[in-house]
């Protein structure tokens, strides 16, 4: 009887542990002005969006983040566009960890820039051209299939999903639209992702540029409300159209900037003016001369010193998706936010 009871208690503990572990975790790896956003789904799969710069530094940082989470492979790799601070670390990363499926723009008519041969040939299970409307084939946590975790492509190669039947018009916000000069680089072809878990929403659009961003919300809102907004293009003002902020109404903004790259005055001002935003996080302190006025509080900056310590920013969505916590593990900063009802 005693052994039976102990066995039952042990089984219950295992089940409780399993349930409590069904969070969605997002980790911003420091690539010093590049991009590498790591997600660990409630079912335990790894999804990496972009791979930082060429060389060993960024792949090794990504490797450290993945293995520290107890993982030994990248199940899904999304490369948003063909600039080296986004795809450059892929080949070196493939030497450190097995990579499952790679989703990117492949080759397409009119592509302004092409990736290197190293990128085109690094080892992975397969390569898929991602298209608007595609969903990554994620495994789902067995405990609750009624609340799936989804990663949806809203647009890429300057083409976007068709407005859903119930997509609201956005005339009032769109009336304030002010276009900027066209960006002819591959930034404009960036893959746009919306991550969903319960009511939680995370928006990541790579380096999508100002005029293309407007198409996401004008004339119809293709995104909806989000909880967390990753600033596009590292916080540069060729991107981060305030029409997107006003439409999506995020509560948290995460900026993957460098010490002198991104976090531009216009972008920072728009983030500060957006009433829905409760906190702005930066990967690095802006050390340009304009930094005095264009930095969030030090406690919200992962790397506040001039000498980079490669600190990460981590977000963890609760298993019921009703709240999420943003932390900077190195400084022990942590703050909890309530998920916006959708």
Where do the H-state alpha helices sit in the chain? 2-20, 57-68, 84-87, 90-96, 117-121, 171-174, 210-217, 242-248, 265-273
Determine what percent of the chain is predicted with pLDDT higher than 70: 93
pLDDT in tens, 59-107: 999 999 999 999 999 999 999 999 999 999 999 999 999 999 999 999 9
Hey, what CATH class is 23-338 in? alpha beta
- What residues does each domain of the chain span? 23-338
Query: Which structure tokens are listed for 100?
Result: 């499952």
Paired with 323 in beta bridges are 338
Name the nearest CA neighbour of 138 among 28, 67, 204, 41.
41
The size of the chain, in residues, is: 342
Residue 205, pLDDT > 80, answer: yes
Residue 10, pLDDT > 60, answer: no
Cβ contacts of residue 4 below 8 Å, gap of 6+?
none
Tell me the C-alpha distance between 95 and 262, whole Å: 30
Greater pLDDT, 146 or 29: 29
Burial class (CB in 10 A: 0-12, 13-18, 19+), 158: middle
Instruction: Count the alpha carbons within 13 Å of 62 in the hemisphere toward its beta carbon.
Output: 40
- Would you call the peptide bond into 219 cis, given omega within 30 degrees of 0 as the criterion? yes
Query: Which structure tokens are listed for 2?
Result: 């005693």
pLDDT in tens, 219-236: 999 999 999 999 999 999
Residue 7, pLDDT > 50, answer: no
Query: Which structure tokens are listed for 332?
Result: 């022990």
Residue 5, pLDDT > 70, answer: no
Q: How would residue 2 be classed by pLDDT, with cut points 50, 70 and 90?
A: very low
247-260 as b/e: b if 16+ CB within 10 A: bbbbbbbbbbbbbe
Q: What are phi and psi of 201, to 5 degrees?
A: -135, 135
CA angle 33, 328, 102 (to 5 degrees): 50
Q: What is the average per-residue pLDDT within 159-183?
A: 92
Name the nearest CA neighbour of 154 among 104, 103, 194.
194
pLDDT in tens, 239-265: 999 999 999 999 999 999 999 999 999
Instruction: Count the alpha carbons within 13 Å of 244 in the hemisphere toward its beta carbon.
Output: 28
Q: What are phi and psi of 290, to 5 degrees?
A: -85, 5
Query: Which structure tokens are listed for 116?
Result: 């290197």
Tell me the C-alpha distance between 202 and 151, whole Å: 9
């Amino acid at each position: 009887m005693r052994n039976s009871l102990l066995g039952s208690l042990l089984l219950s503990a295992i089940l409780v542990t399993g349930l409590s572990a069904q969070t969605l975790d997002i980790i911003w790896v420091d690539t010093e002005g590049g991009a590498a956003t790591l997600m660990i789904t409630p079912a335990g799969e790894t999804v990496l969006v972009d791979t930082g710069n060429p060389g060993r530094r960024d792949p090794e940082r990504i490797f450290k983040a993945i293995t520290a989470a107890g993982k030994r492979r990248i199940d899904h790799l999304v490369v948003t566009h063909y600039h080296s601070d986004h795809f450059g670390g892929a080949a070196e990363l493939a030497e450190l960890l097995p990579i499952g499926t790679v989703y990117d723009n492949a080759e397409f008519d009119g592509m302004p820039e092409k990736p290197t041969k190293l990128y085109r040939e690094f080892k992975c299970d397969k390569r898929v051209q991602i298209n608007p409307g595609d969903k990554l084939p994620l495994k789902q946590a067995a405990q609750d299939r009624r609340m799936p975790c989804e990663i949806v492509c809203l647009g890429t190669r300057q083409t976007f999903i068709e407005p859903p039947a119930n997509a609201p018009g956005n005339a009032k916000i769109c009336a304030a639209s002010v276009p900027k000069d066209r960006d002819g680089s591959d930034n404009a072809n960036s893959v746009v992702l919306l991550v969903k878990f319960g009511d939680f929403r995370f928006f990541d659009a790579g380096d999508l540029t100002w005029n293309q961003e407007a198409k996401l919300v004008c004339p119809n809102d293709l995104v909806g409300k989000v909880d967390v907004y990753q600033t596009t293009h590292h916080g540069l003002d060729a991107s981060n159209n305030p029409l997107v902020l006003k439409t999506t109404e995020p509560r948290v903004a995460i900026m993957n900037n460098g010490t002198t790259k991104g976090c531009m005055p216009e972008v920072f001002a728009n983030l500060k003016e957006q009433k829905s935003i409760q906190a702005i996080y930066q990967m690095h302190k802006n050390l340009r001369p304009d930094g005095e006025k264009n930095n969030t509080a030090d406690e919200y900056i992962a790397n506040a010193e001039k000498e980079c310590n490669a600190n990460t920013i981590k977000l963890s969505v609760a298993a019921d998706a009703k709240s999420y916590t943003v932390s900077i593990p190195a400084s022990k900063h942590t703050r909890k936010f309530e998920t916006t009802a959708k």
